C-alpha cells in the first residue's frame, strides 16, 4: 500500500511537470490579455486618461497621465509648486524637469526614449508584440509567477512577472540609467480594477530605482476621452 501511494505521488508530480512544460509564451500572453479584458476590448481602447497621486519624498503629489494609443504618452506631476512633464511619442520624447535646470522643455536622450516609448501602447508589452517587432521568451517560473522576457525592436530587454493565478503582470524588471550610472529598475503593479468599459487597469504602481522609490495611486480612469494630439508636441523655446 505504501509503495502504491508513493507511485501515485510520483505520477502526480510527473503529470504536473508536463502541464507546466506545456505552457508556452503565447499561452500565457493569451491568458494575460484575456485577464485585461480580451484582445477585442483592448483594440477598442484608443485613449486612456488617469488622475492620481505620486507618493515621493514624503509628499503626495497630484499627477495626470494621458495616452493616445500608438501616438503619445504625457505624464504631468506637480511637486513643490513646480510642474514636471515627461512625453513619449512614436518619433521621440521630451521632458520638463525644473530640478535639472530651468523650466523649459528638453529632448529626452535617445536611450531614455527607447527604454520608455513602449508606454505609448495602451495594450501593454504583450498586445500585438510581434507586429511591434518585439520578441517574447518564457524564462520559467519563479514562485507563483511566470517570467517573460520581452526584447523590443530597439533591443531593449525587460522581464515581466505574470501571476499564474490571475495572469496579471505583477512586476517589471529592467535596466535603467540614473545620473550616468546603470541601475536596476523594479516596478510592481497591483490593485487591478475593471473600468466601466471593461478594460482592466492597475491602480497602484510602485517603482524602485535603488536609492530612489516612488509609488503612484490612481484615483480616476477615463477610457476613450477625446485627446488633442498637440499635447505631445514639444514646446518651442
**Domain residue ranges of the chain, discontinuous segments joined by +:** 26-232
Topology of the domain covering 26-232? outer membrane lipoprotein receptor (LolB), chain A (2.50.20)
Q: Are 154 and 114 in contact (CB under 8 A)?
A: yes
> How far is residue 80's CA from residue 162's CA, in Å, rounded to a whole number?
36
Is pLDDT larger for residue 20 or for residue 31?
A: 31
Query: How far is the CA of 131 from the CAs of 16, 39, 94, 127, 223, in angstroms?
Result: 33, 14, 25, 9, 24
pLDDT in tens, 110-146: 988 999 999 999 999 999 999 999 999 999 999 999 9
Rounded mean pLDDT of 188-205? Answer: 97
Give the rounded distance of the alpha carbon of 18 from its chain centre.
Answer: 31
Give pLDDT tens digits for 73-119.
Answer: 999 999 888 899 999 999 999 999 887 766 789 999 998 899 999 99
Whether residue 24 is predicted with pLDDT greater than 80 in this model: the reply is yes
Radius of gyration of the chain (CA): 20
Split at pLDDT 50, 70, 90, the class of 19 is very low
The percent of residues above 90 in pLDDT, for the chain, comes to 74
CA separation for the pair 182, 105 (Å, rounded): 24
pLDDT, position 22 = 57
**Secondary structure element (H or E) that encloses residue 15, with its range:** helix 2-22
The predicted model gives 192-220 an average pLDDT of 94
pLDDT of residue 59: 84
Q: Does pLDDT of 12 surpass 60?
A: no
C-alpha–C-alpha distance, residues 202 and 204, integer Å: 6
Q: Would you state the pLDDT for residue 192?
A: 98
User: Residue 10 pairs with which residues in a beta bridge?
Assistant: none
- Residue 113 CA: distances (Å) to CA of 24, 64, 88, 139: 30, 20, 7, 26
Tell me how far apart the alpha carbons of residues 64 and 70 are, in angstroms, rounded to a whole number. 18
pTM of the model as a whole: 0.86
What's the confidence (pLDDT) of residue 101? 66
CA distance 211 to 231: 32
What percent of the chain is predicted at pLDDT more than 70?
88
pLDDT at 10 over 90: no
* pLDDT value, residue 80: 84
Cα separation, 231 vs 47, in Å, equals 13
Amino acid at each position: 500500500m505504501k509503495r502504491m501511494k508513493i507511485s501515485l505521488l510520483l505520477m502526480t508530480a510527473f503529470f504536473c511537470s508536463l502541464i507546466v512544460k506545456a505552457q508556452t509564451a503565447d499561452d500565457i500572453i493569451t491568458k494575460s490579455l484575456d485577464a485585461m479584458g480580451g484582445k477585442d476590448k483592448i483594440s477598442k481602447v484608443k485613449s486612456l486618461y488617469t488622475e492620481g497621486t505620486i507618493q515621493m519624498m514624503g509628499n503626495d503629489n497630484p499627477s495626470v497621465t494621458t495616452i493616445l494609443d500608438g501616438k503619445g504618452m504625457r505624464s504631468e506631476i506637480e511637486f513643490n509648486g513646480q510642474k514636471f512633464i515627461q512625453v513619449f511619442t512614436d518619433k521621440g520624447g521630451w521632458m520638463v524637469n525644473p530640478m535639472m535646470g530651468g523650466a523649459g522643455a528638453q529632448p529626452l536622450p535617445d536611450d531614455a526614449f527607447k527604454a520608455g516609448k513602449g508606454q505609448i501602447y495602451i495594450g501593454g508589452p504583450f498586445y500585438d508584440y510581434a507586429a511591434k517587432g518585439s520578441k517574447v521568451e518564457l524564462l520559467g517560473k519563479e514562485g507563483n509567477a511566470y517570467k517573460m522576457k520581452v526584447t523590443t525592436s530597439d533591443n531593449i530587454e525587460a522581464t515581466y512577472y505574470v501571476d499564474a493565478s490571475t495572469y496579471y503582470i505583477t512586476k517589471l524588471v529592467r535596466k535603467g540609467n540614473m545620473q550616468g550610472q546603470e541601475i536596476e529598475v523594479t516596478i510592481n503593479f497591483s490593485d487591478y480594477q475593471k473600468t466601466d468599459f471593461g478594460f482592466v487597469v492597475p491602480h497602484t504602481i510602485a517603482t524602485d530605482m535603488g536609492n530612489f522609490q516612488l509609488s503612484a495611486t490612481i484615483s480616476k480612469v477615463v477610457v476613450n476621452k477625446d485627446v488633442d494630439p498637440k499635447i505631445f508636441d514639444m514646446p518651442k523655446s
